[in-house]
Structure 1
Amino acid sequence: MESSEVESDILRRVRALLRELDGHHPSCQSDRGMLRWTLHKKIQQNPSTSCVLVRILVKELERAERGDLRHYIIPLLHTLMYTLIQAPCIPDELCARVYDFCKRLLTLPKPFCTIGLDYASRLQVERRAPGTLYHRMVISEHGLPSAPFPYRERIFIFADPELLPEAICKALLSDTEAARGSQSPGGCMSCVVSHALQAALGDSCDIHGLRARLQALSPGDVECWFQQVVVAVEGTAGSERGQRTERLESIYRGLLGSVPAGNAPQEGLQGTPLPDPNISFHLWTEDEQLWKELVLFLRPLSQNCEPECPGQEPDGAAEVQDVLGDCECCRHSRFSVLSTDSGIERDLPAQDEPCGPCAERSRLHRKGGIKKKLSPLDSVALLQAGSAAPAGKGPGKAPRGSGPAPEPPAPPQRLHTARVVLLGDDRLLGRLAQAFHSLRKREARRVFLTARLDLQFYHIPVVPAQPPEHAGPEELCEVAGYLGRADPWYESNIRTLCHMIPKLATMPSSPSRALVTDLFLTDVIAYYARMGSQPVGFQLHAVKVLFQDPAQDPAEDVFLTELLAQVQDSPSHRELSTAKRKGTLDGPGIDLTVTYRKVVLSDRQKELTLSLRSTGLLMKAIPAEEAPGLGCLSVTITETIRTNHLAGRSFAAVANRLKTRSIKVRSPEQRPFTVRLDKDSRRTYRDVIGLEVSPCLEPSYCLQKSRTMKFSPDGTEDVGLVKYLPKSLLLPINTFAGVVQ
Structure 2
Amino acid sequence: MESTEVESDILRRVRTLLRELDGHHPACQCNRGMLRWTLHKKIDQNPSNSSVLVRILVKELERAERGDFRHYIIPLLHTLMYTLIKAPCISEELCGRVYDFCKKLLTLPKPFCTIGLDYAIRLKMERTTPGMLYQRMVISEQSLKSDPYPYQEKIFIFADPDLLSEAICNALVTDMEAAQVSQSPQACMCYVITHALQAALGEGCNSTSLKRSLQDMPMSDVEHWFGQVVTAVECAGGQGSTGRSQHTARMEKIYHDVLSSCPAGDAPLGGLQGTPLPNPSFSFHLWTEDDQLWKELVLFIRPLSHTCEPSCLSQDLDNFEIPDIVSDCECCQQSRFSVLSTDSGIERDLPAAPEEPFSPCSTETEQSRLQRKGGIKKKPSPLEGVAFLQAGCNGPGVKSPAKPKRKPGIPPEPPAPLQRLHTARIVLLGDDRILGRLAQAYHSLRKRETRRVFLTPRLNLQFYYIPVVTGQPDTLAAADHAATGQEDLCEVARYLGRADPWYESNINTLCHVIPKLATMPSSPSKHLVTDLFITDVIAYYVRMGIQPVCFQVYAVKVFFSDSVQEPAEDVFLTELHTQVQDSIPHRELSMTKRKMTLDGPGIDLTVTYRKVVLSSRVKELAVSLRSTGLVMKTIPADEAEDLVCLNVNITEIVKINNLSGRSFSAVANRLKTRYIQIRSTEQRPFTVCLDKDSRRTYRNVISVEVSPCLEPSYCLQKTRAMKFSLPETEDVGLVKYMPKSLLLPINTFAGTIQ
Q: TM-score, normalised by structure 2?
A: 0.87
1:274 is aligned to 2:277:
yes
- Alignment RMSD (CA, Å): 3.2
Corresponding letter in the other structure for 1:247: R
Corresponding letter in the other structure for 1:30: C
| Whole-angstrom CA distance in 1 between matches of 2:176 and 2:69 | 38
Alpha carbons 2:314, 2:390 under 8 Å: kept: no
> How much has 1:445 moved relative to structure 2?
1.5
Mapping 1:322-337, distance limit 5 Å: none
Mapping 1:386-465, distance limit 5 Å: 404-465=410-471
Name the residue aligned to 2:227: 227
> How much has 1:177 moved relative to structure 2?
2.6
Corresponding letter in the other structure for 1:14: V
1:739 is aligned to 2:752:
yes
Mapping 1:298-313, distance limit 5 Å: 298-304=301-307
> How much has 1:321 moved relative to structure 2?
11
1:207 is aligned to 2:207:
yes
Name the residue aligned to 1:330: none
Mapping 1:32-111, distance limit 5 Å: 32-111=32-111
Name the residue aligned to 2:369: none
Aligned-partner SS, 2:522:
coil
Mapping 1:283-362, distance limit 5 Å: 283-304=286-307, 319=316, 355-356=354-355
Alpha carbons 1:156, 1:418 under 8 Å: kept: yes
Q: For the structure 1 residues 23 and 322, does the alpha-carbon distance in structure 2 shift closer, same or farther, using more than 3 Å as the test?
A: closer
Q: 1:686 aligns with which of 699, 710, 714?
A: 699
Corresponding letter in the other structure for 2:683: Q
Q: For the structure 1 residues 274 and 219, does the alpha-carbon distance in structure 2 shift closer, same or farther, using more than 3 Å as the test?
A: same
Deviations 1:621-647 (A, max 9, x none): 001121552520100000011111111
Q: For the structure 1 residues 49 and 372, does the alpha-carbon distance in structure 2 shift closer, same or farther, using more than 3 Å as the test?
A: farther
Q: For the structure 1 residues 255 and 372, does the alpha-carbon distance in structure 2 shift closer, same or farther, using more than 3 Å as the test?
A: farther
Corresponding letter in the other structure for 1:220: S
| Whole-angstrom CA distance in 1 between matches of 2:357 and 2:736 | 44
| Whole-angstrom CA distance in 2 between matches of 1:448 and 1:609 | 44
> How much has 1:379 moved relative to structure 2?
4.1
| Whole-angstrom CA distance in 2 between matches of 1:480 and 1:181 | 32
Can you give the 5+ residue segments of structure 1 that lack an aligned partner in the other structure?
Answer: 324-335, 361-369, 388-393
Q: For the structure 1 residues 465 and 680, does the alpha-carbon distance in structure 2 shift closer, same or farther, using more than 3 Å as the test?
A: same
Name the residue aligned to 2:248: 245
Name the residue aligned to 1:554: 567
Name the residue aligned to 1:329: none
> How much has 1:302 moved relative to structure 2?
2.1
> How much has 1:650 moved relative to structure 2?
1.1
| Whole-angstrom CA distance in 2 between matches of 1:117 and 1:19 | 27
> How much has 1:398 moved relative to structure 2?
10
> How much has 1:402 moved relative to structure 2?
5.3
Aligned-partner SS, 2:252:
helix
Alpha carbons 1:175, 1:517 under 8 Å: kept: no
Deviations 1:5-35 (A, max 9, x none): 1000000000000000000001111100000
> How much has 1:110 moved relative to structure 2?
0.2
Q: 1:645 aligns with which of 649, 658, 667?
A: 658
Q: For the structure 1 residues 574 and 79, does the alpha-carbon distance in structure 2 shift closer, same or farther, using more than 3 Å as the test?
A: same
| Whole-angstrom CA distance in 2 between matches of 1:707 and 1:463 | 46
| Whole-angstrom CA distance in 1 between matches of 2:590 and 2:55 | 78
Aligned-partner SS, 1:174:
helix
Corresponding letter in the other structure for 2:620: E
Aligned-partner SS, 1:117:
helix
Name the residue aligned to 1:485: 498
Corresponding letter in the other structure for 1:253: H
Corresponding letter in the other structure for 1:548: S
> How much has 1:264 moved relative to structure 2?
7.5
Aligned-partner SS, 1:505:
helix
| Whole-angstrom CA distance in 1 between matches of 2:696 and 2:733 | 38
> How much has 1:235 moved relative to structure 2?
2.2
Alpha carbons 1:179, 1:518 under 8 Å: kept: no
| Whole-angstrom CA distance in 1 between matches of 2:318 and 2:220 | 31
| Whole-angstrom CA distance in 2 between matches of 1:409 and 1:359 | 35
Can you give the 5+ residue segments of structure 2 that lack an aligned partner in the other structure?
Answer: 321-339, 360-375, 394-399, 476-482
| Whole-angstrom CA distance in 1 between matches of 2:19 and 2:168 | 32
Deviations 1:292-340 (A, max 9, x none): 00000001222247x89xxxx99x75649999xxxxxxxxxxxx9999x
Name the residue aligned to 1:165: 165
Q: For the structure 1 residues 399 and 180, does the alpha-carbon distance in structure 2 shift closer, same or farther, using more than 3 Å as the test?
A: closer
Corresponding letter in the other structure for 1:415: L
Corresponding letter in the other structure for 1:691: V
Corresponding letter in the other structure for 2:568: A
Corresponding letter in the other structure for 1:241: R
| Whole-angstrom CA distance in 1 between matches of 2:381 and 2:515 | 37
> How much has 1:174 moved relative to structure 2?
2.0
| Whole-angstrom CA distance in 2 between matches of 1:654 and 1:194 | 69
Aligned-partner SS, 1:235:
helix
| Whole-angstrom CA distance in 2 between matches of 1:615 and 1:30 | 38
| Whole-angstrom CA distance in 2 between matches of 1:224 and 1:197 | 15
Corresponding letter in the other structure for 1:437: H
How many matched pairs? 697
| Whole-angstrom CA distance in 1 between matches of 2:391 and 2:737 | 26
Q: 2:510 aligns with which of 478, 497, 508?
A: 497
Alpha carbons 1:532, 1:735 under 8 Å: kept: yes
Alpha carbons 1:253, 1:259 under 8 Å: kept: no
Alpha carbons 1:537, 1:733 under 8 Å: kept: yes
> How much has 1:711 moved relative to structure 2?
1.5
| Whole-angstrom CA distance in 2 between matches of 1:82 and 1:358 | 70
Between the aligned residues of both structures, percent identity stands at 71
1:606 is aligned to 2:619:
yes
Alpha carbons 1:490, 1:735 under 8 Å: kept: yes
1:175 is aligned to 2:175:
yes
Q: For the structure 1 residues 117 and 182, does the alpha-carbon distance in structure 2 shift closer, same or farther, using more than 3 Å as the test?
A: same
| Whole-angstrom CA distance in 2 between matches of 1:617 and 1:358 | 77
Alpha carbons 2:158, 2:285 under 8 Å: kept: yes
> How much has 1:464 moved relative to structure 2?
2.9
| Whole-angstrom CA distance in 1 between matches of 2:43 and 2:614 | 51
Deviations 1:64-84 (A, max 9, x none): 000021000000000000000
1:664 is aligned to 2:677:
yes
Alpha carbons 2:155, 2:427 under 8 Å: kept: yes
Alpha carbons 1:698, 1:729 under 8 Å: kept: yes
Corresponding letter in the other structure for 1:240: G
Name the residue aligned to 1:151: 151
Corresponding letter in the other structure for 2:175: D
| Whole-angstrom CA distance in 2 between matches of 1:179 and 1:258 | 32
Alpha carbons 2:316, 2:415 under 8 Å: kept: no
Name the residue aligned to 1:191: 191
> How much has 1:516 moved relative to structure 2?
3.9
Alpha carbons 1:538, 1:730 under 8 Å: kept: yes
> How much has 1:397 moved relative to structure 2?
8.6
Aligned-partner SS, 2:270:
coil
Q: TM-score, normalised by structure 1?
A: 0.89
Alpha carbons 1:541, 1:696 under 8 Å: kept: yes
Deviations 1:531-569 (A, max 9, x none): 000000000000000100000010000000000000001
Aligned-partner SS, 2:532:
helix
1:572 is aligned to 2:575:
no
Mapping 1:611-622, distance limit 5 Å: 611-622=624-635
Deviations 1:140-164 (A, max 9, x none): 0011111111111000000000111
Corresponding letter in the other structure for 1:595: T
1:520 is aligned to 2:523:
no
Corresponding letter in the other structure for 1:411: P
> How much has 1:584 moved relative to structure 2?
1.3
Aligned-partner SS, 2:38:
helix
Alpha carbons 1:203, 1:264 under 8 Å: kept: no
| Whole-angstrom CA distance in 2 between matches of 1:46 and 1:593 | 68
| Whole-angstrom CA distance in 2 between matches of 1:561 and 1:586 | 32
